[in-house]
A and B are shown apart, each in its own frame.
Chain A
Amino acid sequence: MKLYEYKAYEQSEMLKKGEISARELTESYFERIDEVESKVDAYITLNRENALLSADDVDKKRASGEALDKLAGIPIGIKDNISTDGIKTTCASKMLENYEPVFNATVVNKLKSKGAVITGKLNMDEFAMGSSTENSYFKKTKNPFDLDCVPGGSSGGSAAAVAACEASLALGSDTGGSIRQPASLCGVVGLKPTYGSVSRYGLVAFASSLDQIGPFGRCVKDVALLQDAIAGHDKMDATSVKMDHASTFDSLTGDVSGLRIGIPKEYFGSGVNDDVKASVMQSVEELVKKGAVIKEISLPSTDYALSAYYIIACAEASSNLARFDGVKYGYRCDKPKSLIDMYERTRSEGFGREVKRRIILGTFVLSSGYYDAYYKKAKLLQLRIKDEFNRAFEGVDVIATPTSPFEAFKIGEKVGDPLSMYSADICTVTVNIAGLPAVSVPCGYSKNGLPYGMQLIGRHFDEKTILNAAYAHEMCFGVFKAPKL
């Protein structure tokens, strides 16, 4: 068995016992990258030299007897919208093709201080807008389970890299499903943490009130390990919550006796593939055998969630992306004739179609005369959705739904049909709107051998319960089986 095939928590143990060195582990991943990256195209930027230097640093510290963190020496890939000091952070956009941040995101500082090794920057949909990673300006990432299929998005590079063992763990970001949906499509585990539990400082904003950074791993334990490392209050992020985050890793028991699982009928509607529904329900039945209880619940406003989501997300995006104007950083059009010419050409040439489409939608819903009918209404709907979840959680501990309504689709299949692409998010967006935590775990395979994912949604800041339920599921279902590449 190759080193890169071990789970991160196993590698951590091996490093701790001195069975392997961080350099060996890191080299193993770069060998794997050399082997399969040309097929998968998960990375935008590789950080090979620096990765090896930080691995050596960890080995030196360990040799000197220093007590090290569980993540010390573990190779981790970072989505390319999370700022890395001195390493290009492109957001997969022409606009930021050559942009090199002068500061680290808080999560990157946390990982570095724990001795994690950064393998490189992972591909994504431009500015995290998309569900297939096809909106990257640079390349199309392929699904390791079928190279003709998309890996999902927007964190498609993160999901694919972990699934293809091109990184032990990865960070992604999730605004409407951008961690869970690609995790589902690539057969890995992805967690969207509670809004406010992980600092957003340094995450290039798409929709500030919905964005959250979260972990990818090949098993639940790995995801818990990385979540524990990145969670916590940050004074640089006013929306981050001040509270203790007990270790989720240490609380994984797999005991689900008495766990009340809510099944919301709205998430098993006509838009969801029957095979997906069946495999989710089968997984839930397995948990019932282990002592969990099923309760049917209703979240009636779900039908409007996608609309509310697109309004809120695009409104915020139209403002967040206004700073890309060719003045201070990033792309500037050639030979601007005037200020207005510079603005318009820079932004029209620097942004891709989907980004422009969302900026236009967002600008429209905020514009004079339309604010109340769209933005305000969406915000009121958001309150209603939050309320429905709060009431549901009075009777259940977790809510189980499909993650993606369908398996990975063919590259190019949905390009040019925005509404069809947006429908990929119908099961995931409500979670962001309500600010809740949710994890996606593999729960079956299609007849084409493509993975399905089950989403487990929890109460605010109750990552522990959903991860433990996911862990119990994983014990029944079996852990990640690497696709042949």
Chain B
Amino acid sequence: MNVDIKHVAKLARLKIDDSELSRYESEMSDIIGMVESMPDIDDEWLVDENNAMELRKDELSDDKLSREQILKNAPKVVAGCVVVPKTVD
């Protein structure tokens, strides 16, 4: 089984240089080879009712961070906003 590394890397927003490509391909086919030994299982995969979570009450929290704090790790900030290269969809 060969993995289309270029396609998968594009989905993952990774840039794989052509020089690295063959190495990724062989590593990935080794891993996939290992993984393909898994037996077939016909069981149905159902949602587990016994694994329920508690839901959060719809109540405001009082602790609030300032915008400066929240954006302090951002690479580029202008006018209280994070800046990214021009993006129009």
Contacts and interface: CB of A to CB of B under 8 A. Distances in A.
Interface of A: 98-100, 102-103, 235, 238-239, 242, 303-304, 306-308, 310-311, 318, 322, 325-332, 336-345, 347-348, 351, 356-357, 359-361, 363-365, 367, 374, 376-381, 383-384, 418-419, 422
Contacts of A238: 53-54
Interface string B65-79: 100011011111000
Given A332-B75, A336-B85, A377-B41, A418 B31 contact: yes
Nearest to A380: B41
Contacts of B31: 310, 361, 418-419
A344 B30 CA distance: 25
Going nearest first, the 6 A-B pairs with the smallest beta carbon separation are A329-B73, A332-B75, A344-B15, A343-B13, A380-B41, A348-B15
B84 A242 contact: no
14 contacts: A235-B54, A307-B35, A307-B37, A318-B12, A329-B73, A330-B73, A339-B86, A359-B12, A360-B9, A363-B11, A364-B3, A376-B45, A379-B45, A383-B45
A194 B84 CA distance: 41
A337 B85 CA distance: 7
Contacts of B28: 357, 360-361, 364
Contacts of A348: 14-16
Greatest chain A CB density within 10 A among B13, B39, B45, B75 is at: B13
Contacts of B84: 327, 339, 342
Given A337-B85, A339-B85, A381-B38, 9 more contacts: A304-B39, A306-B34, A307-B38, A311-B35, A322-B13, A332-B75, A360-B14, A381-B41, A384-B41
Contact of B13 (A330, A347, A378): A347
A359 B14 contact: yes
B12 A380 contact: no
Contacts of A307: 34-35, 37-38
B60 interface: no
Nearest to A337: B85
Contacts, number: 126
Interface residues of B, number: 41
Contacts of A422: 34
A329 B85 contact: no
Nearest to A362: B12
B61 to A, nearest CB: 10
Nearest to A423: B34
Contacts of B38: 304, 307-308, 377-378, 381
A374 B85 contact: no
Q: Is the interface of B mostly helix, strand, loop or mixed?
A: loop
Contacts of A327: 74-75, 82, 84
Contacts of B35: 307, 310-311, 365, 374
Nearest to A318: B12
Nearest to A331: B75
Contacts of A304: 37-39
B46 to A, nearest CB: 10
B13 A380 contact: no
A380 B45 contact: yes
Nearest to A324: B13
A235 B85 contact: no
Contacts of B16: 348, 356
A236 to B, nearest CB: 9
Contact of B85 (A99, A303, A342, A360): A342
Interface in B19-55: 24, 27-28, 30-32, 34-35, 37-41, 43, 45, 53-54
Contacts of A344: 13-15
Contacts of A330: 73, 75
A104 B65 CA distance: 13
A328 B82 contact: yes
A343 B45 CA distance: 35
Nearest to B27: A418
A133 B68 CA distance: 34
Contacts of B8: 360, 363-364, 367
A300 to B, nearest CB: 10
A327 B84 CA distance: 7
A356 B41 contact: no
A109 to B, nearest CB: 12
A383 B50 CA distance: 14
A332 B37 CA distance: 39
Contacts of B85: 336-339, 341-342
A311 B36 CA distance: 11
B69 A102 contact: yes
B37 to A, nearest CB: 6
Given A311-B35, A342-B85, A364-B8, A99 B73 contact: yes
Nearest to A242: B54
Contacts of A378: 38
A361 B30 CA distance: 11
B65 to A, nearest CB: 6
Nearest to A304: B38
A329 B74 contact: yes
B35 to A, nearest CB: 4
A365 to B, nearest CB: 8
